[in-house]
A and B are shown apart, each in its own frame.
Chain A
Amino acid sequence: MRNSQTSAMAAARRELAYEVISGGSGLLLALFMWGHVVLVGSILTGERGFDWMATMLEDYYIAQPTVFVIFTLFLVHAVFAARKIPSQLRERKQILQLAKGLSQSGREKVVTRTEYSPFRPHVESLLWIWQVRTGMIMLVLGSFHLVLLGIDIFTPLYGDIAGIEASTSTARVSAGLWLPYAVLLLCVEFHASVGLYRLAIKWGADLWLSRKTMHRLEQVIFWVVLVLGGVTLIVLAGWMDPPLAFLLDGTST
């Protein structure tokens, strides 16, 4: 009896630790992604701005440890957040059916429906399933991106190439990498904004902002960052001139 009690206690402690690790790593990654979008957004001022930013981050050895830390966090988050994904296909189908039913109900057009309807809108269950899906896509595309840029960042240490450069990045993106990067961008921003919303509700639903406000905030953040990232990607692909080039005396090339 005593033994089973202490083992239940130890198991509960582990669950708490897992939850803090998955939530904490998710929070750090989401915050990093905002910074990431702003840094890559330096291409909006032209190649000079981008190269200046990249060189600075590499010369002061900010980029190298960051790649290492982010890759580690990325894997840790994948392991600990994925612990809750049902393992059986049958179970996944069950959750999917439940989430679909919940999100569709109350959406039908009914003329006589009043404000007293008990059918309050509910999308968060389906959003969770999309978080799992986007997470899986990110695990593949994100790993690819991290390895590719990791090589860019670390090879200059051996004197091979110049590190992250606008010319290399634009060449790659316009050659076709825009497609996986567009998918990755969409997944990251969706996953991060919904994740932050869920994290805020999980730990502080009664503390700070109302759920409605938090949900609205989540949507605003999602669109702002998605548009910023989207424009960055379009400029990198060479389909648009850097719109903020005038900031650097109009010399964008």
Chain B
Amino acid sequence: MTQEHGTPSRRLKFEIFRYNPEDENSEPHSDVFEIDETPFMSLYIALNKIRELHDPGLQFDFACRSAICGSCGMVVNGRPALACRTLTSDLPEDIQLYPLPAFKLIGDLSVDTGTWFRGMGERTEAWIHERQAFDPEAEEERMSDDIAAAIYEGDRCIECGCCVASCGVANLDDEFLAGAGMNRVARFMMDPRDTRSEAEWFDVVAGDRGVFGCLGMMACADVCPKELPLLEVYAYLRRKTLGARFAARHEKKGSA
């Protein structure tokens, strides 16, 4: 059989991490499965085929198969990626699949990203903080196109956890905010409806679990399946923090 673009089809060898933490007898190990490659095969298709043909007990997460639900993040040949967005034709014949590190393992390739993201959301209070009472009669406040577009850009995050799993700091510290967290913070800092001042943000953003915990390894931006501008977000937050610090000093001197 040949693929549509003329190259002969390959026999793919998958080495997949297996472990069920719920089962006392389960030991972490890898299983090898072989399947034939088909045209435009994604890892999503491949894994379903393996489950169908070889092992119905293989655990992995999927929902949307179109890179929007963020549940199929896994380590593909050493790099966190979305299984549904990764085509086998971009990979060599030997493919190693591991669950995302930095998250709690549910079993095999399935991890719990929800607990991490909930914790991050709570620590950063990732919701609009409005101080004024809601007035149903008042006209809605206007927002410039630029700000709306910037906020929308940040909101494209699908919380797949690839940035967290690729981050050296987040792998060692559960509470480090990582790319997804800093992106979320920047999104609310930009939002004119959020009335939190820069000083109120300061300890969340500037702590060693925020922007200054970052080592600048840049992996988050390189693995992000949505190609979010995470490095730009970090640079923006670093400068904002420095600016806020100078402003606070200036104010202190002014009032003294």
Measured between beta carbons, the chain A residues less than 8 angstroms from B239 are 203-204
A117 touches which one: B90, B168, B218, B238 (CB < 8 A)? B90
Taking a contact as CB atoms closer than 8 A, the residue among B7, B77, B217 that contacts A124 in the complex is B217
A13 to B244, CA, bound (A): 10
| Contact B202–A12 (Cβ < 8 Å) | yes
Query: Are B90 and A119 touching (Cβ within 8 A)?
Result: yes
A244 to chain B, nearest CB (A): 38
CA distance A113 to B92 in the complex (A): 9
Do residues B238 and A102 form an inter-chain contact, with CB atoms below 8 A?
no
List residues of A (182-222) whose CB comes within 8 Å of B's CBs.
198-199, 201-207, 211
Instruction: Select the stretch in B13-21, B137-145, B187-195, B229-237 that faces chain A.
Output: B229-237
List, in ascending order, chain B residues with CB within 8 A of A11's CB. Answer: 203, 207-208
A100 to B172, CA, bound (A): 16
Known: A98-B168, A125-B217. A205 touches B90 (CB 8 A): no
Identify which of B22-30, B51-59, B81-89, B108-116 touches chain A.
B81-89
B203 and A98 contact, CB distance less than 8 A: no
Q: By the criterion CB–CB under 8 Å, are B225 and A118 in contact?
A: yes
Any chain A CB within 8 A of the CB of B206?
yes
Q: Is the beta-carbon distance between A205 and B245 smaller than 8 angstroms? A: no
Complex CA distance for A95 and B171, rounded to whole angstroms: 8
Residue of B172, B202, B225, B245 most packed against chain A (CB within 10 A) = B172
Task: Assess the B235–A13 pair: CB atoms within 8 A.
Answer: no
Produce 1/0 per residue, B203-236, CB < 8 A to A. 1011110101111111100110100010110111
Q: Main SS of the interface on chain A?
A: helix
Q: How far is the CB of B174 from chain A (nearest CB, A)?
A: 13
Q: Are B203 and A106 in contact (CB under 8 A)?
A: no
Does A206 contact B225, Cβ atoms closer than 8 Å? no
Please measure, in the bound complex, the distance between the C-alpha atom of A111 and the C-alpha atom of B90, giving whole angstroms: 8
> Given the complex of chains A and B, what is the CA–CA distance between A35 and B208 in angstroms?
34
| Contact assessment for B92 and A108 in the assembled complex, using a CB-CB cutoff below 8 Å | yes
Known contacts A94-B171, A101-B75; A122 and B223 CB within 8 A of each other: yes
B219 and A206 contacting across the interface, CB-CB below 8 Å:
no
Size bracket of the A interface: 35 or more
Q: Is the CB of A198 within 8 A of B216?
A: yes
Q: How far is the CB of A204 from chain B (nearest CB, A)?
A: 6
B78 contacts A by Cβ under 8 Å: yes
Among A5, A91, A110, A211, which residue has its beta carbon within 8 angstroms of that of B231?
A211
The smallest beta-carbon distance between A218 and chain B, in angstroms, is 12
Partner of A8, one of B76, B101, B207, B222: B207
Report the Cα distance A109→B91, complex, angstroms: 9
In contact, A16 and B232 (Cβ under 8 angstroms): no
Q: Is B242 on the interface with A (CB-CB < 8 A)?
A: yes
Instruction: Name the CB-closest residue of A to B238.
Output: A203
Expressed in whole angstroms, the Cα–Cα distance for A201 and B216 within the complex equals: 8
Provide the B157-176 mask, 1 if CB < 8 A to any CB of A, else 0: 00000000010100110000
Q: Does B241 contact A (CB under 8 A)?
A: yes
Cβ–Cβ < 8 Å partners of A125 in chain B: 166, 168, 217-219
Q: Are B206 and A91 in contact (CB under 8 A)?
A: no
- Residues of B contacting A15 in the complex (Cβ-Cβ under 8 angstroms): 206-208, 210, 212-213
* B residues 21-44 touching A (CB-CB < 8 Å): none
Residues of A within 8 A of B231 (CB): 201, 205-206, 211
CA distance A18 to B207 in the complex (A): 11
CB pair A124–B82 under 8 Å, yes or no, is no
Most A CB within 10 A of own CB, among B77, B203, B239:
B203
5 A-B interface contacts by CB (under 8 A) = A9-B203, A202-B216, A202-B234, A205-B234, A206-B235
User: What 13 additional pairs, Cβ within 8 angstroms, besides A105-B78, A108-B77, A112-B7?
Assistant: A8-B207, A15-B206, A105-B79, A110-B90, A112-B5, A113-B89, A118-B82, A121-B222, A125-B166, A125-B218, A201-B216, A205-B234, A206-B232
Identify the B interface with A (CB < 8 A).
Answer: 3, 5, 7, 75-79, 81-82, 85-87, 89-92, 101, 166, 168, 171-172, 202-203, 205-208, 210, 212-219, 222-223, 225, 229, 231-232, 234-236, 238-239, 241-242, 245
